Amino acid sequence: MSDMHALVPVDAALDFVGGTGAVCDAVLRLRGEALHETLGRIAADLLASPHGRFLPGAGIGTAPGIGPVLRQVVAGSTEQFGIYEVTGRDAYGPDDARLLAGLAHLTASMLQVHSLAVRSTHAYAQMEAQLAHQSQILDQIHESVLTMDQMGYITSWNRGAEELFGYTALEAIGRNILFLYADEEEEFQDFFAERGGRMMEVRRRKKSGDVFWASLSLSPLRDLAERPIGLIAYLTDITERKQAEEQLHHLAYYDELTGLPNRTLFARLVDQALMVAQRNEAAGCVLFMDLNRFKRINDTLGRKIGDELLRQVAQRLRDTLRDEDVVARLSGDEFAVGLFDIRQHFEATTVAQKLQAALDAPFFIAGHDLRVGASIGISVYPQDGSDAETLLGLADIAMERAKQLDANPDRSVAFYSQDMNQGMQERMRIESGLRHALGNGELTLYYQPKFEIGTDRIVGAEALVRWVHPERGIVPPGEFIPLAESTGLIVQVGEWVLEQACAQAAIWQRAGIEPLRLAVNVSAREFTPSLPGRVADTLARYQLDASWLELEITESTLMHDFERVTAIMDDIHQLGVALSLDDFGTGYSSLSYLKRFPIDTLKIDRSFTTGIPEDQSDCAIAGTIVSMAQQLGLRVIAEGVETLEQLAFLRESGCDEVQGYLYSKPLPAADFERSLRENWLLVA
């Protein structure tokens, strides 16, 4: 337009400036016909013409009328907005054409700018509307939706989230998502990076403190350049579904009547336990139980009573077993038990007998006095099978055999394997024989002297139990003590031994024999909090000085609950009764561990003594035990000393006492008393 200033007369230029303002005004304010008319008038005014028109669009003008016409296309860089057309003057010169061209140029620029502005305003409004729309949608949907930045700080929070969590957007935005976690130890993780935004089930906490299950899905939040800037989280409360699932799970795996696991769950639990057993090279047993007389009760008294009976049976079984044992109802009146924490398969018979005994007492239901018993079959892992179904099947077969063979079905127990059955029968024979022996005075005590190295004096004796069997003669303890331990009969045997040893000591005390320690072996099963009281009672009853008594315990006793064991030991020590650690070196006692127990003597196990002096490592172990005992201020005795070489080595090592065939075998009380007197005469 600069050239226009030079060529257009001053008054025309002034008109043009006025026209510029008018064009701007018209473009901003007017639309359609009104705009076109106004633009036409501006053109007519500017060119002092009787007529002026603006013809919108891409046309080329109207047909020529009377007289000359001046036309000018109004076009921007990309589109044609229309055409100016002025008529009515006698003639139009080049200056007029330039003036109209200037006006067209200005008009085109104005229209272009305006349309751009309109378009972007429109786009903006559209975006705004869309956003409002979206947040409306977000607020409408039931799901709670929230966004967070990459550190887990909440950046938005919809109404669903407000309702679900109870926090308003104001309370939630800006806080870290962790404050909603139910488990404090859980850490914020970029789950999306790790799990790819899959659905997951999480536990979250509401403002009220309630914890609930939610399904959570995460999607990445990105900026315009597609860079990740956070996460969008969608959460729904699935507590109800979870509960329903749990209920379904319960239905699928538990017996509704008794609440015990069903066959499916039993098989799973057993298979799992077998995997562990395999790793630990441990044994496992499956017991199959069938109730006797249940069908008759159910048929005659009705299902309601039958159901109640099954419930109570289940309860008694559960109460009899340890928590780690598995018990299930298979069907009808059949139950199964899985035992895995056992050392020997024969321990399963003890459990079977306990279960049968638990059913002995009558069941009182609806005024009836009902009695049921159970026949039990046992299969053993790994000998019989290595999966739950196989073991169950074989235990079932064993149960059928037990039922047929035994005169009293309520006491019938059988292993699937014939060898095990024979072993079981043998053990049952010994067990009932031992019960009989206890009541019939068939047990007796032998005394094996303990000698002090250096003086060769008898300083004590170990009381060792013998079973004088009417037919078999003297039965050594190795044949019945382990069995007594597994059946619990050891407690009665132990009571008898303590009683007998104290009675004998009291006789020697009264006879004026100088006090010596009589050592009694105490098994782990006897080592209960009632032991110190029982010892004190027995001493008092025989008016026996505590210095006459010593208890030998094994390392395995110490391996149990430390607090409990030390308390028992302290009580015994308090009485003035000595404690020695038998079979030392075979267990896992550590030095620091030993220091904490009130022990007087360590007894080197016979297996080490046997290797002296040929076996280097046995010698080293024996030597180490002696020096260790010396450092701890304990006495040390070696058992099983049979040769002079062994004695020489032990003397050299600094061992205090010895016990063994070299000096004496275990002796009956009278023989022991005789060797005691001889020994004294000898050393005096």
CB-based contacts of 538, cutoff 8 Å, min separation 6 = 498, 499, 502, 544
The H or E element containing residue 396 is helix 388-405
Strands, E assignment, 332-457 = 334-342, 363-365, 368-370, 373-381, 413-415, 443-452
Of these, 410, 552, 555, 618, which contacts Mg ion (CB under 5 A)?
552
Site residues for Mg ion, 501-540, by CB under 5 A, read 521
Asked if 557 contacts 524 with a C-beta cutoff of 8 angstroms, the reply is: yes
Of these, 494, 532, 585, 623, which contacts ligand C2E (CB under 6 A)?
494
Asked if 589 contacts 558 with a C-beta cutoff of 8 angstroms, the reply is: yes
Shortest CB 182 distance to ligand C2E, Å: 53
* Euclidean distance between CA atoms 203 and 201, whole angstroms: 7
Q: How many chain residues are in contact with ligand C2E, going by CB under 6 A?
A: 23
* Euclidean distance between CA atoms 517 and 23, whole angstroms: 129
Question: Pairing relation of β-strands 413-415 and 373-381?
Answer: parallel
Q: Which of 277, 553 has the CB closer to Mg ion? A: 553
Q: Is 550 in the site for Mg ion (CB under 5 A)?
A: no
Residue 409: cis peptide before it, omega within 30 degrees of 0: no
Partner from Mg ion, ligand C2E, none contacting 443, C-beta within 5 to 8 A by type: none
Q: Which of 509, 609 has the CB closer to Mg ion? A: 609
Site residues for ligand C2E, 505-544, by CB under 6 A, read 521, 523
The H or E element containing residue 668 is strand 667-668
Q: Is 550 in the site for ligand C2E (CB under 6 A)?
A: no
* Euclidean distance between CA atoms 598 and 480, whole angstroms: 30
Q: Which of 328, 638 has the CB closer to ligand C2E? A: 638
Partner from ligand C2E, Mg ion, none contacting 476, C-beta within 5 to 8 A by type: ligand C2E
Of these, 639, 649, 653, 656, which contacts ligand C2E (CB under 6 A)?
639
Name the one range near ligand C2E by CB under 6 A: 31-39, 144-152, 219-227, 476-484.
476-484
Q: Which two tokens stand for residue 165?
A: 């969590």
Strands, E assignment, 158-305 = 200-205, 211-222, 228-237, 283-292
CB-based contacts of 493, cutoff 8 Å, min separation 6 = 434, 438, 443, 465, 481, 484
Shortest CB 640 distance to ligand C2E, Å: 4
Shortest CB 661 distance to ligand C2E, Å: 3
| Burial grade of 209 (CB within 10 A; 0-12, 13-18, 19 or more) | exposed
DSSP assignment of 1-32:
-HHHHHHS-HHHHHHHHHHHHHHHHHHHH--H
Partner from Mg ion, ligand C2E, none contacting 494, C-beta within 5 to 8 A by type: ligand C2E
Site residues for Mg ion, 199-238, by CB under 5 A, read none
Q: Is 478 in the site for ligand C2E (CB under 6 A)?
A: yes
What x-and-dash track marks residues 583-622 binding Mg ion by CB under 5 A? x---------------------------------------
What x-and-dash track marks residues 582-611 binding ligand C2E by CB under 6 A? xx----------------------x-----
Q: Is 476 in the site for ligand C2E (CB under 6 A)?
A: yes
* Euclidean distance between CA atoms 365 and 303, whole angstroms: 12
Site residues for ligand C2E, 417-456, by CB under 6 A, read 448
β-strand partners of 292: 373
Of these, 481, 506, 629, 647, which contacts ligand C2E (CB under 6 A)?
481
Site residues for ligand C2E, 231-260, by CB under 6 A, read none
Of these, 379, 475, 666, 676, which contacts ligand C2E (CB under 6 A)?
666
Q: Which of 365, 497 has the CB closer to ligand C2E? A: 497
Asked if 211 contacts 205 with a C-beta cutoff of 8 angstroms, the reply is: yes
Q: Which of 478, 633 has the CB closer to ligand C2E? A: 478
Partner from Mg ion, ligand C2E, none contacting 160, C-beta within 5 to 8 A by type: none
Cα 433–Cα 434–Cα 437 angle in degrees, nearest 5 = 90
CB-based contacts of 315, cutoff 8 Å, min separation 6 = none
Query: Helices (H), strands (E): how many in the chain?
Result: 24, 25
Q: Is 637 in the site for ligand C2E (CB under 6 A)?
A: no
**CA quadruple 243, 246, 252, 256: dihedral sign:** negative
Of these, 287, 402, 464, 516, which contacts ligand C2E (CB under 6 A)?
464
Of these, 188, 364, 593, 661, which contacts ligand C2E (CB under 6 A)?
661
Rounded to 5 degrees, φ, ψ at 341 are -90, 50
Q: Which of 550, 552 has the CB closer to ligand C2E? A: 552
Name the one range near ligand C2E by CB under 6 A: 121-129, 453-461, 570-578, 634-642.
634-642
Shortest CB 522 distance to ligand C2E, Å: 6
Name the one range near ligand C2E by CB under 6 A: 252-260, 274-282, 430-438, 474-482.
474-482
Q: Which of 35, 638 has the CB closer to ligand C2E? A: 638
Q: What is the dihedral of CA 661, 663, 669, 675, to 10 degrees?
A: 150
Question: Site residues (CB under 5 A) for Mg ion?
Answer: 521, 552, 582-583
Question: Site residues (CB under 6 A) for ligand C2E?
Answer: 448, 464-465, 476-478, 481, 494, 497, 521, 523, 552, 582-583, 606, 639-642, 659-661, 666
